[in-house]
Structure 1
Amino acid sequence: MVLPDRLTALPGFAESGDAPGRWPLVLASPHSGRDYPAEFLASTRLTLAQLRRAEDAFVDILLDGAVGLGVPRLAARYGRSWLDLNRAAEELDPSMFIEPMEVHGGQGSDRVRAGLGVVPRVAAQGLDIYPTRLRLGDAQARIAEVHAPWHDRIDQLTSAARDRHGYAILLDCHSMPSPAPAVGGAAQVVLGDLHGTSAAPALVDWLERCFTAAGLRVARNAPYAGGYTTARHGRPRDGIHAVQIELDRALYMDPARLVRHLGFQAVTATMTTLAATLMRNDLGLGSTGYAIAAE
């Protein structure tokens, strides 16, 4: 394991890598958290193993090589079953709470209806997390103490990178269940740029070539086009490019047992090589009109 140069405890997540703005690249792993508050564990009907089914296990560790090069990485502390950092703060299911909620559009999203809002109702299909309704204030506290600081910090890191280099790249890193078999082989990597709106095509083209050169099958925007993170932070016209990366869990771990296997090293090497190139090659993204500071 590569030890980061700097590890700072922040509310609900950890930050590692070099000082903000030194490199144009920022990495985020919002679903790899594996801590669960004691009061949450006491209140849920599920076992820890069932709660962990929602995690993107070990994705943060896949990025250790990039962190060793100095790339900033944000890694969630808490499990996704407790709080989903890749959802909008408004994506709350009113049926989960004792108190009535003011009606707004976020409540009707497909994710909320599926039980996968910012405070999830289920850890997986058929696995309801809570035996009773929650107090709305509890959900609001999680959002204020962890969700809001997480996205504020992404804003700070990407803005610092953009202000120094003229552009910033945010890679929001996730894992996915192995897709169903398909003609020619199912995708092992899915790149989501919200159908061309959250990042420059040159960046997504390059990412596809990089993963393909590593021997992996790549798809774009299907079945994952990106989530709240890419929608909120991806602003190509402002010089900030956000891409969601989904990696097939079977590439590097046994999903049933949550245990890494020999493929872990190969995926880590691919992510490290990818980061090393993006640290020093702007792929033409630097011609955005923003002033680039001197070294």
Structure 2
Amino acid sequence: MEIELSPPFDVVEPAAYTAPLLFNSPHSGRIYPRSFLAESRLDALALRRSEDAFVDLLLADVAASGTALMCARFPRAYLDVNREPYELDPRMFEGRLPNYANTRSLRVAGGLGTLARVVSESQEIYARRLSVDEALHRIEVLYKPYHRTLRRLFGRIHREFGVALLVDCHSMPSCGLARDERPRADIVLGDRYGTSCSPLIMDCADDTLRALGYTVARNKPYAGGFITEHYGNPGGGFHVVQVEINRAIYMNEQDFSLLPAFDRLKRDLASLRDALAALPFHYLDAFHLAAE
């Protein structure tokens, strides 16, 4: 059960941090292990429907001036680090899952657990059941090292500045499965309905993106996943905001080709980084100390 990824994720750190920022792209990995492709009943293009396609490339310039960046290289369809470590669907596996597995979450029910059962449009990924050992192996060699590294980076920034901001970046389909759903905003910001970061951060991101010409929504349809929920602790000086980017504004969703607007969006995300870096983090630090 060798994982054909080395390293499984990329970390870019500046020589010196100029702001307490960490950008993260947990779903943009596009290196598909050969063994996974052999196990799947879908072709490579269908599997890519669950990717946050090219978000890592959109963020490539973010780390250029004093900001850290972390990106998964393994695909979300293979393992999803924006879930609990053991959100597993027993229907997918031969044998019995450990009793600590969460087999009843809404995400498992929807086929999108730590090991996904489906990609978009509810297409089943696997031709046959997997072994339980295969699931546990992926969690040990990919999920746990990813989160150890993310926690280490986030904690290091917090120790240096007294406050830290994680910007968790994703992409979304331009429309949902419901036929009557309205067209989605260009960007959806999520803070778990005000619980994962200071309102000052949300307002800054919202105002900056609107000034750049984007339509922006908050928390609907995406309020933030496992990372936003479990890493955000504003009272302790740990802030997390999720950024969901509408794929239609930078790529062709059918053939995965990039649109000319890709370069502009890449520059605008660097501008967002600059705006967040200019926030009065000393105020946020004072705020959480006063709250303790």
Q: TM-score, normalised by structure 2?
A: 0.90
1:27 aligned partner: 23
Structure 1: which amino acid aligns with 2:215? R
Q: Is the 8 A contact 2:205 2:275 kept in 1?
A: no
| Aligned mates of 2:175, 2:239 — CA distance in 1 | 27
Aligned length: 281
Give 1:144 deviation, angstroms.
Answer: 1.0
- Equivalent residue in structure 1 for 2:107, among 101, 111, 114: 111
2:234 aligned partner: 236
Deviations 1:82-125 (A, max 9, x none): 11111111211111111112455732111111111110011222
Give 1:279 deviation, angstroms.
Answer: 2.6
Structure 2: which amino acid aligns with 1:130? Y
1:212 aligned partner: 210
Q: Is the 8 A contact 2:61 2:266 kept in 1?
A: yes
Deviations 1:122-167 (A, max 9, x none): 1222311111111111111111111111111111111111111121
Q: How much identity, in percent, do the aligned residues show?
A: 38
2:263 aligned partner: 265
Cα 1:151–1:263 shift into 2, 3 Å: same
2:192 aligned partner: 194
| Aligned mates of 2:120, 2:252 — CA distance in 1 | 17
| Aligned mates of 1:83, 1:147 — CA distance in 2 | 7
Structure 2: which amino acid aligns with 1:199? C
SS in 2 for 1:108: coil
Q: Is the 8 A contact 1:198 1:242 kept in 2?
A: yes
| Aligned mates of 1:280, 1:164 — CA distance in 2 | 17
1:251 aligned partner: 249
| Aligned mates of 1:131, 1:238 — CA distance in 2 | 46
Deviations 1:48-82 (A, max 9, x none): 11111110110011111212223211111011111
| Aligned mates of 2:226, 2:184 — CA distance in 1 | 25
| Aligned mates of 1:286, 1:273 — CA distance in 2 | 23
SS in 1 for 2:139: helix
Give 1:186 deviation, angstroms.
Answer: 3.8
Deviations 1:210-236 (A, max 9, x none): 111111111111110100011111111
Structure 1: which amino acid aligns with 2:113? G
| Aligned mates of 1:20, 1:112 — CA distance in 2 | 41
| Aligned mates of 1:182, 1:143 — CA distance in 2 | 35
| Aligned mates of 1:140, 1:37 — CA distance in 2 | 17
| Aligned mates of 1:131, 1:254 — CA distance in 2 | 28
Q: Is the 8 A contact 1:31 1:55 kept in 2?
A: yes
| Aligned mates of 1:26, 1:53 — CA distance in 2 | 26
2:14 aligned partner: 18
Q: Which runs of 5+ in 1 are unaligned?
A: 1-8, 291-295
Q: Is the 8 A contact 1:17 1:68 kept in 2?
A: no
2:57 aligned partner: 61
Q: Is the 8 A contact 1:20 1:157 kept in 2?
A: no
| Aligned mates of 2:41, 2:72 — CA distance in 1 | 23
- Equivalent residue in structure 2 for 1:120, among 116, 120, 128: 116
Alignment of 1:40-189 (within 5 A): 40-103=36-99, 106-179=102-175, 186-189=184-187
Q: Relative to structure 2, which stretch is displaced further, 116-125 or 281-290? A: 281-290
SS in 2 for 1:73: strand
